[in-house]
Amino acid sequence: MVSDTERDIPRGAVSRTARLAALPLGAAGRATLGIGKRLSGRDAEEVSAELQQQTAEQLFAVLGQLKGGAMKLGQQLSIFEAAVPEEMAGPYREALVKLQEAAPPMPIRTVHAVLAQQLGGSWRQRFRDFDDTPAAAASIGQVHRATWRDGRDVAVKIQYPGAGTALMADLNQLARFARMFAVLFPGMEVKPLIAELKARAEEELDYGLEADAQRTFAAAYADDEQIVVPRVVASAPKVIVSEWLEGVPLSQIITNGTREERDRAGLLMAVLHFSGPQRAGLLHADPHPGNYRLVPDGRLGVIDFGATARLPGGHPEPIGRLVRWALEGRAEDVLADLRAEGFVRENIQVDAQGVLDFLLPFLAPVSAPSFQFNRAWIQEQANRIGDPRSDASRLGRQLNLPPAYLLIHRVTMGSIAVLCQLDAEAPYRGVCEEWLPGFAG
C-alpha cells in the first residue's frame, strides 16, 4: 500500500513520463496549428511569438509542478535566459523568473510526517512554534519558518518524500527530449547539463553533506563584512534547521532592484565565487538567484549549500596565470599553458594569436578596473561562439575542457549569467587580484 507521503511527488514512471512526454507533443501540435494560422493570413511574426509564449508557459509549468529533476533542470535553464536574444527571451522571461524562487508546496500532512520521521515523534518540542505555510518551495525540498526552543528564528528545510526517485527518473527522461530545448535556448547544450545534474544528484539529496558544507562556510565567513551564512542549528538526512536570514531575494532584485542593489549584489557574488575556495576550501556550486539574499546590512546572504565543489587548495593557480598572461598579450605562453593543462590536446594544431583573440572578449570583465555585465554583452558572446560559420565557433570546437575544470567552468558561466541578469557593475578585476591565485603574479 502506498502511503500519503509517497503520493506527493508523482514518482511512477508512467505518470511522470506522461507529463514530460506531453512537452514535445504539445510543441509539435502548436507548430501544426501555427502553420494553419499563417495559411489563414495571420502575420508570421505574431503567430511565432504567440506559439513561443505558449510553449514556454507549458514547459515551465510542467517543470515546476513535477519538482524533482524537472524543476531542477528548469531552474538551471532559468539562469541562462540572459544569453538568449531579447526577441526570443521576452515572451517567457516571466515564466523563467517564477522558477527561480518557488514551486508548488507539499501538503502539510507530508511535512509533519517527514519531521516526525527525521526529528522524532516529539519533534514539536524542539520548536516554540512552527509555521505550516512554506516560506519557499523548490526542486527537491521546501522551507518553513519556525522558532527554535531557545527563541531563535529558524528556517526548516524539508526534503520531499520520493525526491531521489523523481530526480533521476526526470533527468533520464529529459535527456531524451533535449533537442526540444534548443527552440527556447538556441546554442545551449542541454545534454551535458543534464549529465552533470545526474552526476551530482546523490550529493544534493544528502542533507547531511549539505549541513556539513553549510557549517564550513558559516565558520569561514563568521563576522564577515560582505558575506553572511546562517549557522546550522540541527540536521538529519532529510531535514536541516538553520538560523533564519532576512533579506531581498536576488530574483526580486533582478526584476525591480535599484542600481545600488544590483551593483552590490553583483560584487558580492563575485567575492563569494572567488573567496570561497580560498577561505572554506569549497566552491559554492549553485549560482541560482533563489539561493541568495541581500540582507538589510548590505551583506550577501547564502542559504543553500546542496551543491559544492571541494577545492582545498583554492581555485587552480593556472586559471589566474592564464588570465594574467592573456591580458598581457602573451599568446605563445597562453597556448603553451593551455596545452599543459589539457585545454588543447597534443594532436590539435591551433594558432596562438587566434586562441588569444578567441579568449580576450571573455576576459573583458577583468581587463579594466570596473565592468558592467548586461544581457547585450552575454548575447554577443553567445552569438560569437554559437554561429557554426564563425572562426570563433570553429576554434571553440577544437578546444577541450579537462574533467578537473568542468564544474568550475559551469559555475563560472552560471554566475556570469546571473550577473548579466542583474546588469551589475563592479570592480571585478580587484576581486580577482585579491582572491584568484596566479592572477596578480
Amino acid at 384: R
Evaluate if pTM is beyond 0.85: no
Give the number of other Cβ atoms within 10 Å of residue 423's Cβ. Answer: 19
In the chain, % of residues over pLDDT 90:
49
Q: With bands split at pLDDT 50, 70 and 90, how would you rate the model's confidence at 31? A: very low
**What is the rounded distance in angstroms from the CA atom of residue 204 to the CA atom of residue 197?**
9
The residue that leads in pLDDT, 9 or 81, is 81
Each residue's pLDDT tens digit, 171-192: 776 666 666 565 555 555 666 6
CA angle 342/348/350 to nearest 5° reads 100
122-174 tens-digit pLDDT = 999 999 999 999 988 766 788 999 999 999 999 999 998 877 776 677 677 66
Query: What does the pLDDT look like over 45-93, one tens digit per residue?
Result: 443 455 555 655 555 555 545 454 455 555 556 555 665 655 555 554 5
Rounded to an integer, the average pLDDT of 248-257 is 92
User: Which residue type sits at 363?
Assistant: L
Q: Are 80 and 88 in contact (CB under 8 A)?
A: no
**pLDDT (average), residues 383-397:** 83
CATH class of 108-159+206-243: alpha beta
The domains of the chain are located at: 5-100+165-201, 108-159+206-243, 247-441
Q: pLDDT grade, residue 384 (50/70/90)?
A: confident
Residue labelled with grid coordinates 529529459: 174
